[in-house]
Structure 1
Amino acid sequence: MKLLHVIPSLAKVKGGPTQILLEVVKALQDKGCNVEIVTTNDNGSEVLDVPLYQRVQYEHVPVWFLPRIFLPMKEFIFSTALTSWLGQQLKEYDLVHTHYLFSYAPTCAATLARWQNIPYIATPYGMLTPWALNHKRLKKQVYSPIERHNLNQAVAIHCATLEESRDVRNFGVQTPTFVVPYGVHLPAYQFQSQQRIRQLYNIGSETPIVLFLSRLHPKKRPDLLLQALSRLAALNHNFHLILAGSGESDYLRYLINLVASLGLAERTTMPGFVTGVEKDLLIQGCDLFVLPSFSENFGIAVAEAMAAGVPVIVTPDVQIAPDIAQAKAGLVVKGELDALVRAIQELLIFPNRRAELGENGKRLVSRRYSWSAIASNLTSIYTAIGQGKRLPVPR
């Protein structure tokens, strides 16, 4: 069976879906799958420096890159070249797996797959949560009938959590769903990470580091975290915040001004988008990880923090929150200021509590979020679809 994954962009600045898909394809290759990716050369406000119109090895996986056309609706990521490529090449594949919603590439791929009688699977990446549907609501209201039709015509929909499966049903989609969580890239071990990260950012050796590592976007609520830390600073708690990530320039300016107005400038570092060794250092060198998001389909960075033995604080809207609560791998609190203040305060005061939660998180990740196990589940799903059988229940 020859598989094609379709995604609008593989730019790292696009966050979780890019990393997830690259790791999925690597793991599928390890299982012997014949799998490729097709995408555009989008890289946010720029384009990736990659060969076009040819199969290349990118991050150790086979990828076809096609040129995007820049439009005012930049998240749509339109590409006439991708349309032509799919029209000509799609018949070479036995199954198509689309990634993301409300974007041109997966919509085009689903439409052309139907015309050519090729089965396709869709992964929504949390785009059907109530918060996500209300964000840029007019655009999504216009696009929703197209997306609903595409999803209803798919052979299956891949959900990362049971909650996402419910979101699919609430969107008016009756296609069978299967739940396979995303896996976690285990960071390369960084020797003396706590000392090195403090030297890198000039942080005192006894100062606990609070890490926020995600796209800087209103959905992720870094502003709520800043307000909570302002309260704790007024109570003379010792901490340093690392607010890592990239985002729209207007929102970045808002956050910078908020840091200053709350008197947190000397307690806050904003290193921008981080990857590679610096990202691994941040995750392994921090003392606690906080993501008070309005809506989060999975939260790859949260799982990476748990893999490194770091206790996490999340809201119930991070959809792996039930796993975190059951495993006692972190604190799940309402997305309200007082609740967040109390949770951070608890972990700042009690290092033994941090260590306990962190060890539980490592066990959770090794048991549930292994890429090898996830690839095995996906392979069984793909095989069943290719053979016209009922979907197996992932284990």
Structure 2
Amino acid sequence: MKILHVVDKMDPTRGGVCQAIRTLIKGFQEQHIHNEVVSTDIPDAAIDFRDSFPLHKMGETVNPWSYSKKIKSWLASNIRRFDVVIVHGLWQYPQYVCYRQKLSMDQDCKIRFYLMPHGMLDPYFQQAPERKLKALRNILYWSLIEKKVVNTLDGILFTCEEELELAHHSFKGYSPKQELVVGLGVEQPPAFTSSMRGAFAALCPVPKDKPYFLFLSRIHEKKGVDLLIKAYARLFNETNQSLPLLIIAGPGKDSDYGTQLIRLVREKHLEEHVLFPGMLTGLSKWGAFYGCEAFILPSHQENFGIAVVEALACGKAVLISEQINIWKEIVRGAGGFAEHDDPEGTYLLLKKWITSSIETKSQMQTNALRTYEDLFRVSVTTHRFLNLIIPTTA
């Protein structure tokens, strides 16, 4: 069996969809399935992709639609080598050209075309106040093009039930041929070593044995970091300063929003208790995960939340908003708490944790790891994914 993945960009620094595709492919490769990717990345870019699969880079596009004449001709010449085409994301030319390619195929062609939106049909993107112009653009684009793409391809692939349900509430005329919840996995993290602790300490010198909450994600308005700092400050005052530290790690510290957050920390006199180590990768990232007391992400929208699942895989309870689409699975598995993405909800996440007994916290850590192993291990999600798409390709 051969699968072709079509996507706008595979630059590994982008994370998100790119990381999801790489994780999917790793799982498929373990099942001896051949994978290739075609994208609009620059062929000679100074980016170390280090991929174990063929990546066909069609060249950087200079237009917001990511139009590429080369990707169209490449698909026309190569599409029949594959059994399944998975089109990742929305709102770009690569999705449209796959739709046109499907229309051009013979009636007896057995190649199946699936669309994996990766949360891009979430109504959040149409309702967020800061996205009014983009929301209007999406409505126009939906009526002219994207509705045809969604309703013509052979099926829509979702990472969880919540994503599927939300997709019904964004646009009129949404009527895909098939909806499949295929899931998404996260690779098992490396076993803890003292070098991980050292790598993290080099970037974020936390006092020895001092517990800390970990936020590890992009520092952006969507992630609710301002809510987190304000909730932490409120609880800090209520508990007479007997709180774990708060580590806010990730890119974006030097953005306008990041600067506002640092100013907020100063105004709350929390400079010694809220730390911004910047982006953590490799050993330092795993050191941060393994060393934290709990992971927290009060995001306003998260289709899956790879960092959330990485925390589970490290045996750490997660404190998340109900706008992270896998929150029901996590609460059902008792691997964490979930509340609304507002000031009170974020405060409750922290309050629930610090008022829980040692026994409850310990059990929640155990449940977190079990939730990962039962639902989000790559081997588990790969089997589910293939069982859903292989019968339709026979």
TM-score w.r.t. the length of structure 1 is 0.87
**Amino acid of the residue matched to residue 364 of structure 2?**
L
CA contact (8 A) 1:41 1:50 kept: no
Q: Which residue of 1 aligns with 2:223?
A: 220
**Amino acid of the residue matched to residue 67 of structure 1?**
G
Question: Where in structure 2 are the equivalents of 1:155-304 lying within 5 Å?
Answer: 155-170=154-169, 171=171, 172-192=174-194, 193=196, 197-198=200-201, 200-235=203-238, 236-247=241-252, 249-304=255-310
1:77 and 1:286, CA in 2 relative to 1: closer, same or farther beyond 3 A? farther
Deviation at 1:199, TM superposition (A): 5.6
1:109 and 1:266, CA in 2 relative to 1: closer, same or farther beyond 3 A? farther
Q: Which residue of 2 aligns with 1:15?
A: 15
1:2 and 1:305, CA in 2 relative to 1: closer, same or farther beyond 3 A? same
Q: Which residue of 2 aligns with 1:59?
A: 51
1:69 and 1:267, CA in 2 relative to 1: closer, same or farther beyond 3 A? same
Deviation at 1:282, TM superposition (A): 1.5
CA contact (8 A) 1:288 1:311 kept: yes
**In structure 2, what is the Cα distance between the partners aligned to 1:48 and 1:246?**
22
CA contact (8 A) 1:22 1:61 kept: no
**Amino acid of the residue matched to residue 267 of structure 2?**
S
* Cα displacement string for residues 262-320 of structure 1 (whole angstroms, at most 9, x for unaligned residues): 33333233233332222211211211111111122111111110111111111111111
* Cα displacement string for residues 16-38 of structure 1 (whole angstroms, at most 9, x for unaligned residues): 22111101111111111121111
Deviation at 1:353, TM superposition (A): 3.1
Q: Which residue of 1 aligns with 2:36?
A: 36
**Amino acid of the residue matched to residue 305 of structure 1?**
A
**Amino acid of the residue matched to residue 22 of structure 1?**
R
Q: Which residue of 2 aligns with 1:101?
A: 90
**In structure 2, what is the Cα distance between the partners aligned to 1:221 and 1:377?**
32
Give yes or no for the alignment of 1:359 onto 2:366. yes
Q: Which residue of 1 aligns with 2:78?
A: 89
Q: Which residue of 2 aligns with 1:383?
A: 390
1:190 and 1:199, CA in 2 relative to 1: closer, same or farther beyond 3 A? same
Moved over 6 A (4+): none
- Partner secondary structure for residue 224 of structure 1: helix
Give yes or no for the alignment of 1:3 onto 2:8. no
- Partner secondary structure for residue 289 of structure 2: helix
**In structure 2, what is the Cα distance between the partners aligned to 1:207 and 1:80?**
56
**Amino acid of the residue matched to residue 30 of structure 1?**
E
1:49 and 1:351, CA in 2 relative to 1: closer, same or farther beyond 3 A? farther
Deviation at 1:249, TM superposition (A): 3.1
Deviation at 1:82, TM superposition (A): 2.6
Deviation at 1:251, TM superposition (A): 2.9
Q: In percent, how many aligned pairs have the same letter?
A: 27
1:347 and 1:197, CA in 2 relative to 1: closer, same or farther beyond 3 A? farther
CA contact (8 A) 1:219 1:293 kept: yes
**Amino acid of the residue matched to residue 126 of structure 1?**
G
Deviation at 1:13, TM superposition (A): 3.4
**Amino acid of the residue matched to residue 223 of structure 1?**
D
**In structure 1, what is the Cα distance between the partners aligned to 2:255 and 2:67?**
22
- Partner secondary structure for residue 295 of structure 1: coil
Give yes or no for the alignment of 1:49 onto 2:46. yes
**In structure 1, what is the Cα distance between the partners aligned to 2:228 and 2:365?**
20
1:260 and 1:114, CA in 2 relative to 1: closer, same or farther beyond 3 A? farther
Give yes or no for the alignment of 1:122 onto 2:122. no
1:12 and 1:237, CA in 2 relative to 1: closer, same or farther beyond 3 A? farther
Q: Which residue of 1 aligns with 2:100?
A: 111
**Amino acid of the residue matched to residue 72 of structure 2?**
T
**In structure 1, what is the Cα distance between the partners aligned to 2:245 and 2:62?**
39
**In structure 1, what is the Cα distance between the partners aligned to 2:328 and 2:102?**
36
**Amino acid of the residue matched to residue 82 of structure 2?**
Y
- Partner secondary structure for residue 248 of structure 2: strand
TM-score w.r.t. the length of structure 2 is 0.87
**In structure 2, what is the Cα distance between the partners aligned to 1:195 and 1:69?**
41
Match of 2:346 among 340, 343, 365: 340
* Cα displacement string for residues 53-111 of structure 1 (whole angstroms, at most 9, x for unaligned residues): xxxx833232212211234x4xx444343333223322332321011112232233333
